[in-house]
A and B are shown apart, each in its own frame.
Chain A
Amino acid sequence: MHQLWLIPVFPLAGFAINGLIGRKSGKNVVNAVAIGSVLLSFLWVLKALSAMGMFGAGMPEEAHVERYFTWIQSGTLNVGFDFAVDRLSAVMLLVVTGIGLLIHVYATGYMAHEGGYYRFFSYLNLFMFFMLILVLAANYLILFIGWEGVGLCSYLLIGFYFDKQFAADAGKKAFIVNRVGDFGYSLAIFLIVINFGSLDFGKVFEAAKAMPVDQGAGIFTAICLLFFVGAAGKSAQIPLYVWLPDAMAGPTPVSALIHAATMVTAGVYMIARSSSLFVHAPIAMDVVAIVGLATAVMAATIGLVQNDIKKVFAYSTVSQLGFMFLALGSGAFAAGMFHVVTHAFFKALLFLGAGSVIHAVGGEQDLRKMGGLRSKIPITFWTIVCAALAISGVPFTSGAASKDEILIAAFHHAPWMYWVGVITAGMTAFYVFRSVFMAFFGTYRGKAHPHESPLTMTGPLMILAVLSLAGGFLPIPHFLEPMFPKVLEESEKWLEYTAVASGLLGISLAYLFYVARPSLADAASKHFNGLHKLLYHKYYVDEAYDATVVEPIVQGSRSVLWKGFDIGIIDGIVNGIGHRAMNIGGTLRRLQSGNIRSYAAWVVLGSIAVILAMGLTGSIR
């Protein structure tokens, strides 16, 4: 026993303490509780993992399971409250607690002047709690607890500025879209219960492995597709990605922690976790790969023209998540998880850097009103450049290592996917550097007085910058290899070169358009006006959803459910009953003389009747 339960309990305690007494206590107390709880959790993760031999002798391949108590027992179904740690969750644990710790530290600087300080940190701790539950879960139901919990926290944190309409709407949107995915996920859980009689990861995967690959394909496909629906909701894949860009309404640390580094990768984690099931369902794998690739392309194209710095990075997140799903769909689960980790580093860094920039220019998020910040906030600039290099796949950075593995796996799956992926990678490099150049080069176009952020913000930036650059050398794919089914892997050098070249090309194009010849960008957008407009308005997806889903539901509810069913039938029944009751009551109320003594007489009459009845039937003796 490594007392795994302590890992999530620390943040939970932090949540409870801050939530209960945070309003009264000072900021220092809130900081200490929030950061301390996550720090303790992180240290406990390190202790538990090193006790398992992760950093030394090597971790055992089977999971370490801790069983606490039986949660649900119904018939043959037995769901325990169990936690488990294997290599996969070990990686996730480190990412979640490590990045989470950095972002907590960062947030103390970023949120220093915001209202609802204690509320923010108690939510953040609650999120950590649920995320750790999700990662530590030893069965699908516990995972579902965490799954729902992080969704709740995401909603709470997106809507953190609940007095602003758009933030509240964005929160609701995220919540509702996630519900769709959760519905798929819960259906998948039911199917698993029906087919395997258990929700335990160990038992389900044993049973799946024992089956021949081609057997039960239909049910496996169904389960996996439903899982993918859930994953698409949580990890923002087509068609459920629409909530993630709006989620940027929340505070920037939230975007970094929840909507870039951890929660949105929960879908990837879950599918990687279920890899034993997915290998039985090639159709589902193909769907995952294609949807992932489509998401990557679509989000990247939208990202090309956005002007809000956080929107750009949000679409970039969607796009990178698409890459991860591409990897999963191609069977390269380890590569997908590796990208989760590296992406957590550089995307968290990008968001935190963006936060630092926004902080510096006084809350402005529009790239067109920045510029020339390079010399004013140098630390932010250089750390963001590190992240941008990593995401663009420049050699020897973390992004290059993971992205190359994904693209190679995609090539082995289907060469056309590789090519589309390479082009997308180029676009990624282009739009990321576009925003870097727009923000940091040229002359300052805003009105604020930019200033560097405090050490609590730049410190995490620098740590993440180091990780973004050097994270590629972590032996994560090798570490995860035994967890997943084998993929044949014969790296061909030209594949890597092509990918790197596309990235570099993207960077140079961005330099050309936004530093060397700024006029070219305007000219291009004028020339491709229609396309630009289409991209700028995100393919009109939100509008389409409004027209096809939201409006019909609202209208249908209003006209059919409300006016027809509710008023016509339900109210009709209720009111009808009421009228009948009034009529009957009108007759009966003659008995209610209001005279206590008559009532008493009736009571006596009744008792005599009862006693007589009992005496005559002989039930008294």
Chain B
Amino acid sequence: MPLLPAAVPLSWYLLLSAVLFSLGVAGFLFRKNIITVFMSIELMLNAVNLSFIAFSYHLKQVDGQIFSFFVMVVAAAEAAVGLGIILTVYKNRSTLEIDEIDSMKN
């Protein structure tokens, strides 16, 4: 009697993806450093990628992997522009606290 099954169900992967995504959301909600918030977004993207690839496995088709590939491309582009924006924000306001960057309010 093995302690563990030899293989895990696919839903475990999806649950892992959901948990990681939720942790990403949590990071987005609770962290105040804009860079960390940005990284939480990357974590969410990664979680979604895991789902894509799990489904790609499930359907025995490569398409899901292609989508996660595109997600990576978008993430790379987003990181380049987003970090540029963060640098500019820091130059202008010399803070990274997301709560301080609220001049759009009211």
Mask of B27-38 contacts with A, CB within 8 angstroms, 1/0: 011101000010
Number of interface residues of B (CB under 8 A): 14
Q: What is the 8 Å Cβ interface bit string for chain B, positions 63-100, against chain A (1 contact, 0 not)?
A: 00000000000000000000000000000000000110
Q: For A600, what are the chain B residues with a Cβ–Cβ distance below 8 Å? A: 25, 28-29
User: Does B105 touch A at the CB level, under 8 Å?
Assistant: yes
A597 touches B99 (CB 8 A): yes
Q: How far is the CB of A347 from chain B (nearest CB, A)?
A: 68
The interface-forming segment of A306-314, A497-505, A539-547, A588-596 is: A588-596
Chain B residues in 8 Å Cβ range of A616: none
Q: Which residue of A lies closest to B37 (CB)?
A: A596
Decide yes or no whether A72 CB sits under 8 A from chain B: no
Q: A600-B28, A604-B25 are in contact. Are A594 and B103 (CB under 8 A)?
A: yes
**Bound Cα distance A592, B105 (Å):** 6
Are A597 and B105 in contact (CB-based, < 8 A)? no
List B21-48 residues whose CB lies under 8 Å from chain A. Answer: 25, 28-30, 32, 37
Closest Cβ neighbor of A600 among chain B residues? B28
Do residues B105 and A593 form an inter-chain contact, with CB atoms below 8 A?
yes
A57 contacts the other chain (CB 8 A) = no
* CB-based contact B29/A594 at 8 Å: no
A593 CA to B101 CA, complexed, in Å: 11
Can you name the residue of chain A whose Cβ is closest to the Cβ of B102?
A594
CB of A1 closer than 8 Å to a CB of B: no
Q: Does B104 contact A (CB under 8 A)?
A: yes
Q: How far is the CA of A266 from the CA of B29 in the complex (A)?
A: 75
**How distant is the Cα of A604 from the Cα of B25 in the complex, in angstroms?**
8
Pair A601/B29 contact, Cβ less than 8 Å: yes
Assembly CA distance A604 to B40 (angstroms): 14
Using CB atoms, name the residue of chain A closest to B99: A595
B41 CB to closest chain A CB, in angstroms?
10
Complex: chain A residue closest to B103, CB-CB: A594
Residues from chain A with a CB closer than 8 A to the CB of B25 are 600, 604
Q: Distance (Å) between the CB of A102 and the closest chain B CB?
A: 64
List residues of chain B with CB within 8 A of the CB of A589. 106
In angstroms, Cα B27 to Cα A604, docked, is 13
Shortest distance from the beta carbon of B72 to any chain A beta carbon, whole Å:
23
CA distance A593 to B102 in the complex (A): 8
Q: Is the CB of B98 within 8 A of A597?
A: yes
A595 close to B28 (CB less than 8 A): no
Band of interface residues on A? 10 to 19
Question: A298 to nearest B CB, angstroms?
Answer: 71
What is the distance, in angstroms, from A607's C-beta to the closest C-beta of chain B? 9
By a CB distance below 8 angstroms, the chain A residues around B28 are: 597, 600
Say yes or no: A604 contacts B29, CB within 8 Å. yes
Bound-state Cα–Cα, A600 to B29, Å: 7
* Given A597-B29, A600-B28, A600-B29: A592 and B99 interface contact (C-beta under 8 Å): no
Contact call A592/B104, Cβ cutoff below 8 A: yes
Which of A594, A601, A604 is within 8 Å of B105, CB to CB? A594
Assembled-state Cα–Cα distance A595/B103 (Å):
9
CA distance A594 to B102 in the complex (A): 5
Residue of B nearest to A592 (CB): B105
Residues in B whose Cβ lies below 8 Å from that of A594 = 102-106
Q: How far is the CA of A592 from the CA of B104 in the complex (A)?
A: 8
A592 to B32, CA, bound (A): 18
Q: Which A residues are CB-close (under 8 A) to B98?
A: 595-597
Q: Inside 8 A of A601's CB, which chain B residues have their CB? A: 29
Min C-beta distance of A611 to chain B, whole Å: 11
Q: For B104, what are the chain A residues with a Cβ–Cβ distance below 8 Å?
A: 592, 594
Choice from A592, A596, A597, A604 contacting B106 with Cβ under 8 Å: A592
Expressed in whole angstroms, the minimum distance between the Cβ of A177 and any Cβ of chain B is 55
| Residues 318-333 of A contacting B (Cβ, < 8 Å) | none
Q: Which chain A residues border B101 with CB–CB below 8 Å?
A: 596
Within 8 A of B (CB), among A570-601: 589, 592-597, 600-601
CA distance A514 to B28 in the complex (A): 99
Identify the closest chain B residue to A598 (Cβ). Answer: B29
Would you give the shortest CB distance from B24 to chain A, in whole angstroms? Answer: 11
What CA separation (Å) do A593 and B106 show in the bound complex?
A: 7
What would be 13 A-B contacts, judged by CB atoms less than 8 Å apart?
A589-B106, A592-B105, A592-B106, A593-B105, A594-B102, A595-B99, A596-B98, A597-B29, A597-B32, A597-B37, A600-B25, A600-B28, A604-B29
3 smallest beta-carbon distances between A and B, as pairs? A594-B105, A594-B102, A594-B104
Apart from the given pairs A595-B99, A597-B99, A600-B25, 8 other A-B contacts in the complex at a CB distance below 8 Å = A589-B106, A592-B105, A592-B106, A593-B102, A593-B105, A597-B28, A597-B29, A597-B98
